[in-house]
């Protein structure tokens, strides 16, 4: 009798747990524990001084306060400016290209070819891309020599030595690397819209521009939100391009130094306390920004029932 | 309100590179379309004059080119050949928005991010109409369609039937010259479809405009249309009032397409003997009525093998065998007021509709699977089609 009971209660659930175990194990070892450790470290004085290791000594919030009084706001501003320089042209060009490529009436030829070409820069490693730009735009590089030959400029432009030049180069590279990706995603979103909606709009009297602003844009809003959030997080973590382009110096005068480059400096100096505090800052900033973007772009009243109820209430009172 | 003239409208989809590649591998899937060197022909020389205020229904099986024709009228497809006139003005190269037409789509095509009110006001706003006028028109249309209480809802919150009303509302607020409808009821369930069909008939009495309606449903075609255009493989098969196409189908296709259950077809022999015409099928020989004989004689029809078409309700049950066609009942379907018998006559399926009781309330003998039937048909209501499928009388 007892034996029979045992056979009956065979549970297959354990296999489910066994199958998902590898993920949770690796997540815990490589992500969760380091994450917790980072946060813990941010409250300690803990750095290497020559061959000696100082700490860990509990210091409370002093890492945070010392960061705030350092050049952190300046680096945050740098990051933001370079992100904007890359993101604005990226989203504009991507929207234009996506609406061209998806317009059935234009009958563009070689769509497939262009889709591949604009996606290609994304496949190149960011560091290789940065090296390439470093060579192209150096003082004696090909861009300068072409400009000189054509007589556009009198003397070589020192791209890397001006704040605007260096920042624009970083923005340009980010734009080139990501606009293909964004275009493909926007195209997917636009193609997901029922084509008869566009036809209805055409019959209702929309011009091409009106169709874009009144029909396409509102309908791809969820994907635009997604693009904005991922790009924002990516922007906050901007590191490889400016690091390689400026040799980690953030030249000129640290105006291209991003938050993560700064973090990297502390890590190299084995200052785990400050680096941890900086990471927590970054986490909080991204969380706040994402919450903002999300609130801004989500339709809080998807079926119109809320506003209808509100109006009904008003009507009832009056 | 406008007349609409289609003169030899043709639509050819040119071959694209991909289609040519497909040819090498598998055979073409759509065999009902004509593939020529120029491309795939979807609509062939479509000519039709639609009067002001007329309700025209295009009907046919899927892929027959009815929707393509409608979309060419709307301007959503380019016209490959022929000419299109709205109110006497050639509009081949006029943009859709300037043709003064409105269209109702099968998928409703409502703007999901706008409320019902905004959806309906949208075409008027684009025309920069006065705000009060927009408001008046939208409320009037909402009133007509009984959707006033949903005006500040978004399409998501509405049921299929309500969405379709909004789509119709968006089309009629503009008071367009021509109202096009592309299978507007196909996405609704059967009950709602019947209800909306009645609504469309009512709507038609309220607003004065020319309708062009596409459907694959013959019931919709018969009940809604002033005239029906039956299409197949891009060709018009017949144009006529519902009664005309039912009573005098131009060919086998129309005969089989219109009418539920389908018309019965028999291989038969038409013989002309001294000015009289006889049709013999199986063991049954029937002399045609004087009117039919006159029609056939007028067209100098000779004796020949024909396809005989008789509608299920026009089949006659004979009491005794003799000059009759014998058949075996396979299935009997009780419909209430009538019974549908599916019988086998010489290997051919035949459907016979018999009322369950006569006008005196006496029940008519019922049959069961396996029973023998003796069939004949009335000489007034049979249809004769020649070898090419054309009706021999007309």
**Lowest-pLDDT range of A262-271, B28-37, B317-326:** B28-37
How close does chain A come to B248, measured CA to CA in Å? 37
Task: Report the mean per-residue pLDDT for chain B.
Answer: 86
Q: Do B347 and B240 reside in the same domain of the chain?
A: no
Hey, are the CB atoms on B153 and A308 less than 8 Å from each other?
yes
Q: Do B203 and B152 reside in the same domain of the chain?
A: yes
Residue B393 in any domain: the answer is: no
Residue with tokens 């592309």: B182
Hey, are the CB atoms on A304 and B107 less than 8 Å from each other?
no
pLDDT of residue B379: 82
- Residue range B148-174: mean pLDDT, rounded: 91
Domain ranges, residue B52: 4-14+30-252
Higher pLDDT, A71 or B390: B390
Helices of type H across B228-374? 242-247, 252-257, 290-298
Residues of chain A in contact with residue B102, where contact means CB-CB under 8 angstroms, are 203-204
pLDDT of residue B56: 94
- Residue range A28-41: mean pLDDT, rounded: 90
Hey, are the CB atoms on A203 and B103 less than 8 Å from each other?
yes
Provide φ and ψ at A304, rounded to 5°. Answer: 80, 5
Q: Tens digit of pLDDT for each residue in B22-61? A: 444 444 444 455 677 778 888 888 999 999 999 999 999 9
A255 falls in which pLDDT band (50, 70, 90)? confident
Give, for B179, the enclosing helix (H) or strand (E).
strand B178-182
Q: Do B246 and B270 reside in the same domain of the chain?
A: no
Residues of chain A in contact with residue B127, where contact means CB-CB under 8 angstroms, are 205
Is A121 a residue whose pLDDT tops 80?
Answer: yes
Residue B171 in any domain: the answer is: yes
Of A205, A207, A301, the CB nearest to B127: A205
A76 falls in which pLDDT band (50, 70, 90)? confident
Q: Which of B232, B252, B272 is the last residue of a domain?
A: B252
Domain ranges for chain A: 40-128+170-317
Query: What part of A 190-209 touches B (C-beta under 8 Å)?
Result: 194, 196-197, 199-207
pLDDT of residue B28: 47
Other CB atoms within a 10 A radius of the CB of residue B380 amount to 11
Residues of chain A in contact with residue B126, where contact means CB-CB under 8 angstroms, are 204-206, 210
Q: Do B80 and B121 reside in the same domain of the chain?
A: yes
ipTM value:
0.82
Is A301 a residue whose pLDDT tops 80?
Answer: no
Higher pLDDT, B19 or A300: A300
Is A313 a residue whose pLDDT tops 90?
Answer: no
A40-128+170-317 topology per CATH: MetI-like fold (1.10.3720)
Residue B311 tokens read as 């509608």
Hey, are the CB atoms on B113 and A299 less than 8 Å from each other?
yes
Q: Do B178 and B206 reside in the same domain of the chain?
A: yes
Residues of chain B in contact with residue A111, where contact means CB-CB under 8 angstroms, are none
Q: Do B277 and B210 reside in the same domain of the chain?
A: no
Residue B23 in any domain: the answer is: no
Residue A69 touches chain B, beta carbons under 8 Å = no
Q: Do B246 and B274 reside in the same domain of the chain?
A: no
Looking at chain A, which residue has its C-alpha nearest residue B155? A303
Which residues contact residue B320 at a Cβ distance below 8 angstroms, ignoring those fewer than 6 apart?
A: B374
Query: What part of A 218-257 touches B (C-beta under 8 Å)?
Result: 218-219, 221
pLDDT of residue B24: 44
Is B282 a residue whose pLDDT tops 60?
Answer: yes
Q: Do B218 and B287 reside in the same domain of the chain?
A: no
A302 falls in which pLDDT band (50, 70, 90)? low
Q: Do B234 and B267 reside in the same domain of the chain?
A: no
Of B97, B152, B157, the CB nearest to A202: B97
Is B21 a residue whose pLDDT tops 50?
Answer: no
- Residue range A298-304: mean pLDDT, rounded: 67
Instruction: Give the distance, in angstroms, between the CA of residue A165 and the centroid of all CA atoms in the same chain.
Output: 22
How close does chain A come to B98, measured CA to CA in Å? 7
Give the integer Cα–Cα distance in Å for B265 and B255. Answer: 9
Residue from B86, B111, B149, B172 whose CB has the most chain A CBs within 10 Å, to mutate: B111
Hey, are the CB atoms on A303 and B105 less than 8 Å from each other?
no
Higher pLDDT, A47 or A177: A177
Q: Do B83 and B129 reside in the same domain of the chain?
A: yes
Residues of chain B in contact with residue A197, where contact means CB-CB under 8 angstroms, are 109-112
Q: Tens digit of pLDDT for each residue in B112-121? A: 989 999 999 9
Of the candidates B14, B13, B38, B40, the one whose C-alpha atom is nearest the C-alpha of residue B29 is: B40
pLDDT of residue A311: 67
Is A26 a residue whose pLDDT tops 50?
Answer: yes
pLDDT of residue B57: 94
Query: What part of A 282-311 touches B (C-beta under 8 Å)?
Result: 299, 301-305, 307-308, 311
pLDDT of residue B376: 85
A3 falls in which pLDDT band (50, 70, 90)? low
Looking at chain B, which residue has its C-alpha nearest residue A206? B126
How close does chain B come to A151, measured CA to CA in Å? 46
How close does chain B come to A292, measured CA to CA in Å? 21
Q: Tell how many helices (H) and how many strands (E) occur in chain A.
A: 17, 2
CATH number for B185: 3.40.50.300
Of the candidates B147, B86, B144, the one whose C-alpha atom is nearest the C-alpha of residue B116 is: B147
CATH number for B300: 2.40.50.140
Q: Do B273 and B233 reside in the same domain of the chain?
A: no
Q: Do B224 and B330 reside in the same domain of the chain?
A: no
Is B20 a residue whose pLDDT tops 50?
Answer: no
Of A205, A302, A307, the CB nearest to B123: A205
- Residue range B322-343: mean pLDDT, rounded: 86
Instruction: Please tell me the total count of domains within chain B.
Output: 2
Residue B394 in any domain: the answer is: no
pLDDT of residue A20: 93
Residue B344 in any domain: the answer is: yes
Looking at chain B, which residue has its C-alpha nearest residue A308? B152
B293 falls in which pLDDT band (50, 70, 90)? confident
DSSP string over A35-60 = HHHHHHHTTEEEEEETTEEEEEEE-T
Looking at chain A, which residue has its C-alpha nearest residue B112? A219
Which residues contact residue A279 at a Cβ distance below 8 angstroms, ignoring those fewer than 6 apart?
A: A38, A42, A263
pLDDT of residue B325: 85
Looking at chain B, which residue has its C-alpha nearest residue A220? B113
Q: Are A198 and A206 in contact (CB under 8 A)?
A: no
**A158: three-class secondary structure by DSSP:** coil
Residue B203 tokens read as 């709507």
Residue B20 in any domain: the answer is: no
Q: Tens digit of pLDDT for each residue in B234-255? A: 899 999 999 999 999 999 999 9
Residue B24 in any domain: the answer is: no
Give the integer Cα–Cα distance in Å for A3 and A5. Answer: 5
- Residue range B329-340: mean pLDDT, rounded: 86
Q: Are B381 and B346 in contact (CB under 8 A)?
A: no
Residues of chain A in contact with residue B174, where contact means CB-CB under 8 angstroms, are 204
Residue B80 in any domain: the answer is: yes
B1 falls in which pLDDT band (50, 70, 90)? low
Other CB atoms within a 10 A radius of the CB of residue A87 amount to 22
């Amino acid at each position: 009798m007892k034996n029979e009971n045992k056979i009956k209660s065979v549970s297959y659930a354990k296999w489910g747990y066994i199958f998902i175990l590898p993920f949770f194990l690796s997540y815990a070892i490589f992500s969760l524990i380091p994450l917790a450790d980072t946060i813990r470290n941010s409250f300690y004085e803990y750095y290497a001084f020559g061959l000696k290791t100082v700490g860990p000594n509990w210091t409370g919030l002093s890492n945070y306060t010392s960061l705030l009084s350092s050049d952190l706001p300046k680096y945050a501003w740098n990051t933001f400016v370079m992100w904007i320089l890359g993101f604005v042209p990226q989203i504009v060009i991507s929207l234009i290209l996506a609406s061209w490529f998806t317009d059935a009436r234009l009958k563009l030829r070689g769509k497939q070819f262009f889709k591949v070409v604009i996606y290609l820069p994304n496949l190149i490693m960011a560091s290789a891309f940065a090296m390439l730009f470093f060579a192209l735009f150096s003082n004696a590089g090909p861009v300068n020599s072409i400009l000189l030959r054509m007589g556009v400029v009198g003397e070589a432009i020192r791209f890397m030595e001006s704040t605007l030049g260096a920042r624009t180069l970083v923005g340009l590279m980010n734009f080139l690397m990501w606009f293909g990706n964004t275009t493909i995603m926007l195209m997917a979103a636009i193609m997901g819209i029922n084509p008869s909606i566009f036809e209805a709009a055409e019959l209702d009297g929309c011009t091409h521009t009106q169709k874009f602003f009144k029909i396409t844009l509102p309908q791809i809003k969820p994907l635009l939100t997604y693009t904005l959030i991922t790009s924002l997080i990516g922007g906050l973590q901007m590191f490889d391009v400016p690091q390689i382009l400026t040799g980690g110096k953030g030249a000129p005068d640290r105006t291209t130094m991003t938050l993560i480059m700064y973090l990297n400096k502390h890590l190299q100096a084995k200052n785990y306390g400050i680096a941890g505090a900086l990471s927590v800052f970054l986490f909080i900033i991204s969380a706040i920004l994402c919450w903002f973007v999300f609130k801004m772009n989500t339709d809080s009243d998807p079926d119109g029932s809320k506003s209808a109820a509100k109006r009904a209430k008003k009507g009832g009172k009056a | 309100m406008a007349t609409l003239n289609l003169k030899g409208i043709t639509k050819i989809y040119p071959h694209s590179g991909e289609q040519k590649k497909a040819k090498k591998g598998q055979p073409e899937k759509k065999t009902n379309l004509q593939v020529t060197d120029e491309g795939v022909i979807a609509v062939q020389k479509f000519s039709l004059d639609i009067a002001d205020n007329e309700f025209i229904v295009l009907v046919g099986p899927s892929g027959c080119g009815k929707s393509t024709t409608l979309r060419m009228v709307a301007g959503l497809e380019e016209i490959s050949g022929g000419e299109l006139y709205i109110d006497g003005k050639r509009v081949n190269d006029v943009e859709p928005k300037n043709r003064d037409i409105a269209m109702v789509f099968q998928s409703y095509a409502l703007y999901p991010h706008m409320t019902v009110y905004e959806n309906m006001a949208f075409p008027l706003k684009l025309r920069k109409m006065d705000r009060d006028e927009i408001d008046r028109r939208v409320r009037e249309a909402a009133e007509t369609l009984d959707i006033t209480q949903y005006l500040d809802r978004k399409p998501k919150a509405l049921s299929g039937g309500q969405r379709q009303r909004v789509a119709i509302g968006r089309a009629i607020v503009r008071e367009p010259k021509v109202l096009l409808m592309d299978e507007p009821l196909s996405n609704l369930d059967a009950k709602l479809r019947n209800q909306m069909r009645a609504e469309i008939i009512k709507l038609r009495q309220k607003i004065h405009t020319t309708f062009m309606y596409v459907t694959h449903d013959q019931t919709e075609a018969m009940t809604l249309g002033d005239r029906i255009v039956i299409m197949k493989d891009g060709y018009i098969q017949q144009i006529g009032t519902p009664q005309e196409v039912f009573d005098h189908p131009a060919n086998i296709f129309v005969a089989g397409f219109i009418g539920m259950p389908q018309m019965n077809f028999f291989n038969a022999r038409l013989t002309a003997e001294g000015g009289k015409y006889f049709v013999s099928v199986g063991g049954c020989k029937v002399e045609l009525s004087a009117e039919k004989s006159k029609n056939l004689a007028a067209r100098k029809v000779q004796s020949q093998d024909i396809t005989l078409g008789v509608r299920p309700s026009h089949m006659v049950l004979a009491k005794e065998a003799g000059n009759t066609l014998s058949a075996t009942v396979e299935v009997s379907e009780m419909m209430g007021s009538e019974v549908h018998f599916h019988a086998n006559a010489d290997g051919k399926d035949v459907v016979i509709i018999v009322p369950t009781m006569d006008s005196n309330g006496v029940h008519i003998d019922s049959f069961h699977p396996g029973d023998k039937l003796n069939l004949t048909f009335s000489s007034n209501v049979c249809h004769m089609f020649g070898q090419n499928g054309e009706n021999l009388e007309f």
